[in-house]
Chains A and B, each alone.
Chain A
Amino acid sequence: MRRLALLLCLLAPASTAAQDGGAQDGGARNGVERAAEAIADAAAELVGSDAGRVVLRPRVDLPEDAPHGLPAALTASARARLGDGAHVALFGGLDAEGAAAATRLGYDAMLDLDARIEGGFLRWFLTLWRGDARIGERSGRVRLDVALRRFTGFPPRLQDADVRPQTVLLPTTDVVAIAAHDLDDDGRAELVVVRADGVRVYRLEPRGRRLRARELGRAAWPAEATRAPVPRRRVIASARPDGDAVALRISELAPALRVSLVSGAVQLRVAEGPCPEGRYPMGGGCAELVHGRDFYDQLLTRGDAPTLEAQGNFFAHVYGEFADREGGRLAAEGLVTPHGRMSVRLARRGPEGDETERSVGAVGYGTALAMTDLDLDGAPELLASTASAAGEGDALVLMRALPRGALHVLWRSEPTTGPVFVAGTGDLDGDGRDELFAVEEPLERRGGARLWIVR
């Protein structure tokens, strides 16, 4: 019961789970709020201090049967920011005609907001007109999350037959941790690969109908990281997105490190946070290794959020909050214990505030585990490796964790040649939707690893 209360309290509106890279709802702010905030910033920048009377003309290209309200939601922040002199008006005509109409109506300027759906993004253009003169333009895009999808429409629910695995050659081996994060703010996640000898950053680029991993750069451990702490027997590392960088740790004796892209070059530096000394950053918080073992203790400290007590010690842990299409929210936590048991805990708060908690488990899973909601239905998908015997290949399993407390296997790979140790989630192809991915190591340490991308 205590755990239920803990998980549910994490679902409170002021939840600090924004640090969770897997949260589909963007943490504290959803996509609508983020888009409105970005538009307000752009409007304030365009109009300047001497706003005068400004009319906002939103034009949002949505399907005919889409629910109303998105234009108002997108301009709400801008109206508040511009003050009493700002109004929202809907009138037709071309851009210049609209500006002329606004002048005739007594406005000093018109901010024309044009928003449309581009793939998995809401793309917006904001243009400032004074009379028939076009003064300036700003644009931006926001990923279509559940909040935006309520206006634009949801993708079809993922069915077994719809799962599309894809493999990409990753020109590296011996990956000990991996994270996907948009390091250069171009809307596409880069792949941060952690090895025992340093960090490599890749970007997936289309080549024909397939993807190709291009190395953006690499960095060895900085001198002040005291290279020695990387142990010989088994390197245990973790990485997670943190702000505009990826935070990682390679040993409990090593300092915390951050990987970022600075002017296109990979920068790896010692930096405090996000976890205290000796603790490994991961989605659910900061974990500590069990003394003398290669798995983590069940207590995850979470900075300004309550400590999360996992169901047990674990090899891999994922945590995320997911909004569903009906307005409810689900806190999902999954882990793989040192004995290969997967345990998933699901706490849902319904639209009416009703609360339920379910748990489900299965055995025979490995150390690779990642979670995201691929189809934005509020039931997250998990990608896990199996507990293969030593020296053998492995397999990948995609499961849906249903809020009623069940794991539904959507897809299972053919046995892989090599073992799979790490998995992650992120928008690797820049289509606005997250993918789940895992790295299959080559058995003979020759060639490269295979990056499995599943969605």
Chain B
Amino acid sequence: MDRSLIGAALAILALAVSAAPARGALGPKHGGAITLPAPEPATTLDPARAETAFEATLTEALFDRLYEVREDGTVEAVLAAGPPEIEEDVARIRLRPGALHHGTRPIRARHVVRSLQRTSSAPLASWLLGAFATENGRPAIREVDEETVEIRLARRGLRVDIVLAATPLAIVVGGNVRGRPLGTGAFRGRLDGRGGVELRIFRSAPDRPPWVNRVRFTPPRPREEEVRAFELGRLDGSWWSRSLYGGQPVRPVETATATAASPVLLVPNRARALRDDDAWGGVASAIDRARLERVGLVARRSLGAGLPAPRLPRGRAPRGARLRMIVRDDRPFERRVGEALAGMLDERGIALQVDRLSPDRLDATVARGDWDLRIALVRPPLPGRGPLVGAALAAAGQTDRARRLATQLGDAEVAAEAARQLDVLVLGQERLLLHHRADLRGFGFDGMGRLTLADASFARSRPEATR
């Protein structure tokens, strides 16, 4: 594997290790239920469409991949029985015998084929399929027998196991993919239809079942109500440390913090008011990243460590310009960022109208091109620079370039050049912070900003040894 990929994997996953359950001699306690507020309404459980840290948390809990990149940077088979058998440009992958999905039946090759092929319709994940050859416009993935999948690669020598370790390529066996999918992860899950999610232990999980029996994310609620419910013990955590009026929980509380390795981008529409470099450069230079700290962003100029910042044109702020920015109305974080940007641009004489749109309307608006600025959340599918840049290209709508990058994920120079040419403004990375009851163990954020639900457990009462 490429050195840069290994290095980045080590760095990111070192954080994940630090969030692993604290090790006591007796091991974590089994059982119990964790109730947390959802930071935003949960609308999908589809791993190919997960954008936010919350959605990534849910999909990580529900699904496994054929391979995973472990903490030491090695790629390890999870749903596959072993490394792929590669013959020229064809990779054969045997499935792990005995692995059951949430329907308590063995996972079959047809499930894998269907799951990978359906990714081609997901805008943020389809670029990864650029690593595979196509047949009749579809990825060349086929079932050899019940336990063997065959994939034809876009070129020889490509590390297909690394590509298949990407989080959007997690295997969805079936079910209602948006609301009640079947996977193989530590939890079975379903949306409650009100923005909340129910996760229940899957005892036959191939990667071992979780310690707790249930995790419930309640629908988002106003800040005051959330803090009060946490104080009263109706919730086991809160995204807020205190109410608007300064009320603070008095019971023992611990705080999990992390900076998600997922950049937040400001994407311009270069076909409208920002078509010329002068205007776009002026808007970009008018934005002070440091002022976005208060809305939960850690200011960064580049996508990640070791990557150059995107090259931005120089220009002057187009005073008097009227721009339209679209944000998802179900994402408080995007709304806050949009409002903060509107305030900054207003000082420079640019009127930024922030329109809150439902997910479907936002997708339609983006497709129509009826916007000037939008927020894009980049969720790297794998540790490393190449996957990060590829995800950023896809999030910025440059899918073709992302697909080309999918065949050279380990090439640091190609990734750096692609990052430099990315025509976006990197705002920073989302700061994550969750206050939770003090007796939760192994609970926190991993290096990708996901909550470690499967590792969480409640503390044991401490008996004294008797003589």
Stretch in contact with the other chain, from A57-65, A103-111, A291-299: A291-299
- Of the candidates A233, A395, A409, A421, the one whose C-beta lies within 8 Å of that of B208 is A233
Known: A226-B82, A228-B80, A387-B24. A233 touches B459 (CB 8 A): no
| B136 contacts partner chain A, Cβ-Cβ < 8 Å | no
Stretch in contact with the other chain, from B95-103, B247-255, B342-350, B356-364: B95-103
User: Using a Cβ–Cβ cut-off of 8 Å, how many residues does chain A contribute to the interface with B?
Assistant: 41
Q: Is the Cβ of B68 less than 8 Å from the Cβ of A390? A: no
Please give the distance in Å from B72's CB to the nearest CB on chain A.
Answer: 9
| B121 contacts partner chain A, Cβ-Cβ < 8 Å | no
Q: Please indicate the chain B residues that have their CB under 8 angstroms from the CB of A228 in the complex.
A: 76-82, 96, 206
Q: Is the Cβ of A367 less than 8 Å from the Cβ of B22? A: no
- Of the candidates B25, B76, B78, B463, the one whose C-beta lies within 8 Å of that of A363 is B463
Please give the distance in Å from A272's CB to the nearest CB on chain B.
Answer: 16
Chain B, interface size category, equals: 35 or more
Please give the distance in Å from A292's CB to the nearest CB on chain B.
Answer: 3
Q: Is the Cβ of B96 less than 8 Å from the Cβ of A253? A: yes
Q: Please indicate the chain A residues that have their CB under 8 angstroms from the CB of B459 in the complex.
A: 389-390
Known: A234-B208, A390-B28. A441 touches B97 (CB 8 A): no
Q: Please indicate the chain A residues that have their CB under 8 angstroms from the CB of B203 in the complex.
A: 291-293
Q: Is the Cβ of B207 less than 8 Å from the Cβ of A367? A: no
Q: Please indicate the chain A residues that have their CB under 8 angstroms from the CB of B220 in the complex.
A: none
CB contact list, A374-403 vs B, under 8 A: 385-392, 394-395, 397
Alpha-carbon separation in the docked complex, A362 to B202 (Å): 33
Q: Please indicate the chain A residues that have their CB under 8 angstroms from the CB of B442 in the complex.
A: 390
Q: Is the Cβ of A391 less than 8 Å from the Cβ of B24? A: yes
Q: Is the Cβ of A387 less than 8 Å from the Cβ of B26? A: yes
| A231 contacts partner chain B, Cβ-Cβ < 8 Å | yes
| A116 contacts partner chain B, Cβ-Cβ < 8 Å | no
Alpha-carbon separation in the docked complex, A231 to B455 (Å): 13
Which residue among B23, B79, B201 has the maximum number of chain A CB atoms within 10 Å of its CB? B23
Please give the distance in Å from A163's CB to the nearest CB on chain B.
Answer: 15
Known: A292-B209, A364-B463, A390-B459. A226 touches B96 (CB 8 A): yes
User: Nearest chain-A residue to B64 (Cβ)?
Assistant: A232
Alpha-carbon separation in the docked complex, A214 to B78 (Å): 33
Q: Please indicate the chain B residues that have their CB under 8 angstroms from the CB of A362 in the complex.
A: 465-467
Q: Is the Cβ of B186 less than 8 Å from the Cβ of A441? A: no
| A131 contacts partner chain B, Cβ-Cβ < 8 Å | no
- Of the candidates B26, B81, B209, B467, the one whose C-beta lies within 8 Å of that of A340 is B26
Alpha-carbon separation in the docked complex, A367 to B459 (Å): 16
Q: Is the Cβ of B99 less than 8 Å from the Cβ of A389? A: no
CB contact list, B124-150 vs A, under 8 A: none
Please give the distance in Å from B288's CB to the nearest CB on chain A.
Answer: 40
Known: A365-B465, A390-B441, A409-B467. A233 touches B25 (CB 8 A): no
CB contact list, A297-341 vs B, under 8 A: 315, 338, 340
| B87 contacts partner chain A, Cβ-Cβ < 8 Å | no
Q: Is the Cβ of A253 less than 8 Å from the Cβ of B99? A: yes
Please give the distance in Å from B104's CB to the nearest CB on chain A.
Answer: 11
Say what secondary structure dominates the interface of chain A.
Answer: loop
Please give the distance in Å from A416's CB to the nearest CB on chain B.
Answer: 9
| B462 contacts partner chain A, Cβ-Cβ < 8 Å | yes
Q: Please indicate the chain B residues that have their CB under 8 angstroms from the CB of A363 in the complex.
A: 463-466
Alpha-carbon separation in the docked complex, A77 to B186 (Å): 60
Q: Please indicate the chain B residues that have their CB under 8 angstroms from the CB of A364 in the complex.
A: 463-466
Q: Please indicate the chain A residues that have their CB under 8 angstroms from the CB of B28 in the complex.
A: 390
Known: A362-B465, A387-B460. A233 touches B455 (CB 8 A): yes
Q: Is the Cβ of A389 less than 8 Å from the Cβ of B24? A: yes
Please give the distance in Å from A30's CB to the nearest CB on chain B.
Answer: 34
Known: A292-B209, A364-B464, A364-B466. A229 touches B23 (CB 8 A): no
Known: A253-B98, A340-B26. A390 touches B463 (CB 8 A): no
Q: Is the Cβ of B466 less than 8 Å from the Cβ of A226? A: no
Alpha-carbon separation in the docked complex, A368 to B26 (Å): 9
Query: A-facing mask of B448-467, CB < 8 A → 1, else 0?
Result: 00000011000110111111
| B30 contacts partner chain A, Cβ-Cβ < 8 Å | yes
Q: Please indicate the chain B residues that have their CB under 8 angstroms from the CB of A421 in the complex.
A: 23, 25
Q: Is the Cβ of A389 less than 8 Å from the Cβ of B462? A: yes
Q: Is the Cβ of A368 less than 8 Å from the Cβ of B25? A: yes
Query: A-facing mask of B28-55, CB < 8 A → 1, else 0?
Result: 1010000000000000000000000000
Q: List 6 additional A-B contacts (Cβ < 8 Å) besides A233-B207, A233-B455, A366-B26.
A: A228-B80, A232-B207, A292-B201, A315-B27, A385-B25, A387-B25
Among all A-B residue pairs, the 6 with the closest Cβ atoms:
A292-B203, A366-B25, A364-B465, A391-B22, A390-B22, A228-B77
Residues on B close to A: CB < 8 A?
A: 21-28, 30, 68, 70, 76-82, 96-99, 186, 201-210, 441-442, 454-455, 459-460, 462-467
Residues on A close to B: CB < 8 A?
A: 223, 226-234, 253, 291-294, 315, 338, 340, 362-368, 385-392, 394-395, 397, 409, 419-421, 441
> Can you list 21 A-B contacts with CB-CB less than 8 angstroms, sorted by A residue number?
A226-B77, A228-B77, A228-B96, A231-B206, A232-B78, A253-B98, A292-B205, A294-B27, A315-B27, A363-B466, A387-B465, A389-B460, A390-B23, A390-B24, A390-B459, A395-B465, A409-B467, A419-B23, A420-B25, A421-B25, A441-B23
